Amino acid sequence: MAVYAAPVQDLIDELGRLPGIGPKSAQRIAFHLLKLQRADAARLANAIVEAKDKVTFCSQCFNIAEGSGESEALCSICLDERRDATVLCVVEEPRDIVAVEKTSEFRGRYHVLQGAISPIEGVGPDQLRVKELLVRLEDERVQEIILCTNPNIEGEATALYLARLLKPIGLRVTRIASGLPVGGDLEYADELTLGRALEGRRDVEG
Ligand SMILES: [Zn+2]
């Protein structure tokens, strides 16, 4: 027998699909939403739909870009001719671009993998934007790839995989320096620490 009325259970189920939201949190948020004024609930629902309608992923680097889902859009960084096209910083998520940009240490371009290799979660290279990265390397004048994945198990495994894949192409492949909090996410590193990690990046052995 269902514990909650169907619409409530649907809401809990949907919230439970969000990253980092367990069943308990999903219930708590659902009951919070039920207490909202209708106008406040509508504003939240609307913000989600608006973002989905007006924001898409950059067709070149997979950063967030303005545009509808169907059209080929480029992000503001890919559109900026002043950015150094010879250096690509490879990150896991668009939010990592924000973290690197805040350091003001990097003037090159980016490539967002949209995740990291994680055998436990069934994520392999095929689920990431690795193919798209290789295509870019054929067409663009990239000379150095900075592996800027998170300093945790998944991020390190991803960096190692990419280093083995990219070194034979004859590019300079570097990894951000250690000194970042191990096991953490880039987005939690302060600007100074991440800036130093970028500056102190090392060549990866092939
Ligand atoms: Zn882009």
Distance 65 CA to ligand 1 centre (A): 7
CA distance 85 to 111: 12
Residue 71: per-residue pLDDT: 64
Residue 170: per-residue pLDDT: 87
pTM: 0.80
Higher-confidence residue: 140 or 91?
91
Distance 75 CA to ligand 1 centre (A): 4
Distance 186 CA to ligand 1 centre (A): 19
pLDDT per position as a tens digit, 141-190: 999 999 999 988 899 999 999 999 999 988 999 998 876 666 667 777 78
pLDDT at 69 over 80: no
Distance 142 CA to ligand 1 centre (A): 15
| Long-range residue pairs from 112-116, CB within 8 A, at least 24 positions apart, any chain | 112/57, 112/58, 112/61, 112/62, 112/63, 113/62, 113/149, 113/158, 114/57, 114/62, 116/92, 116/149, 116/150, 116/154, 116/155, 116/157, 116/158
pLDDT per position as a tens digit, 26-61: 999 999 999 999 999 999 999 999 988 888 999 999
Tell me the mean pLDDT in the region 70-75: 80
Distance 96 CA to ligand 1 centre (A): 13
Distance 58 CA to ligand 1 centre (A): 5
Distance 79 CA to ligand 1 centre (A): 7
